[in-house]
Structure 1
Amino acid sequence: MRYSKEHKQETHARIVKKASVRLREKGAHGIGVADLMKEAGLTHGGFYAHFDSREALVIEAFGYAMDRAAEHWRNMAADIPPEKRLSTIVDSYVSAAHRDDPGRGCAVPTLGAEIARESAKTRKAFAAKLDQMIDLVADQIPDVPRKTARRLAMGTMATMMGALVMSRVAGSGEMSDEILASGREAALARAAKPVAKKARAKAN
């Protein structure tokens, strides 16, 4: 049976979406192609009708996950005053809900260490998406030069992501909650200091 172009595109998108969740839950090497195809309701043999290689699927699935995270941040930022956007993103990210649902969360804490050991092509694709996320966070840091905002965004994101990883290692008890609270405080303090310093300089 020959399927329409639209049907193939819908099937392709379904595979990528399913893969993005399972890869975040189990890691880049924790689930095979056969399992991914089965979850999408397809046979293993149909894989190469959609992807040239497993690496191609992994890159698309990573990209999908990171695009969804960025979209989530944009939607949150659009509905609140500019001065509250960064704190809202940090609070949502460094949270128990995010900690406990890696399959639908950010791909960087769940897959970053594995990506560092993947091919140059995969690392390049991942880095490009990460750069877009840095720009998005930098957009939420007002009243500083763009270069400074990007540097602050990098530090803030590193703190956010590191806190999430540590909290997952610690489980879901009191220590894990303390890590999340400390991570939120540190992430916001990192970005707030230069902005406050510039505000004081203007006032003087």
Structure 2
Amino acid sequence: MSYRIVFRQMAILFPFDDVARTKRLTYDSQYLLLEEGGDNNLFDARTNKVARDWTVLAAGMHWQVIGTVTKLAAAAAGGSLRLRNRQTTPEGYIGAIRRHLADPIAPDEAKRQGVRVNGTITIGQDEVIYDPKHYERLAERNHTETSRDGQAVKVWTFNLLDPGDLLDFLTFHTLEQYQVQATRVPKSIWNQTAAWAPDVL
């Protein structure tokens, strides 16, 4: 059975004073939670090691991040999630995240270490928008236009190490949705983000 191996984790803290200066609506500090991992049965042909990449697991206020992590931790109970390739319990996984959240790094330190985190929101020009007021605010931001599967789409890009961009992304990212039977469902944040970090931090 394949399983995900978690190699490294990182929490980035945006203190409330910093996010408040962006004039966005928020009442608490914000976090970005990153994780480097990969499937145990996929290998990098260059290094012969397990292929791995960085993912944005969660973002938002402390309680929102913990809520997301608690759901993800269920995979450890079934054996499909392991910290450093060791048997891991859900409690052990959540505990590891809590330790990182208790000792986060600042966005400027993340940049100094070579960390980059981007978010994208892609919306087709003919899609039905469930929240037109939010979409009007999003449309005020700079964006690019391209095509996907023959459909014209607009793409917004966010630098998630910038507190203003982070809060805008968290405000608008649920506007991008996909079809599940007769229902449209917001995309998960890890499907709208990309993260990079040096091999050695």
**Same-fold call, TM cutoff 0.5:** no
Give the TM interval when normalised to the shorter protein: under 0.3
Give the TM-score of the pair, scaled to structure 2.
Answer: 0.25
- Of Structure 1 and Structure 2, which has the larger fraction of its residues in strand? 2
- Of Structure 1 and Structure 2, which has the larger fraction of its residues in helix? 1
Q: Which has the larger radius of gyration?
A: 1
Give the TM-score of the pair, scaled to structure 1.
Answer: 0.25
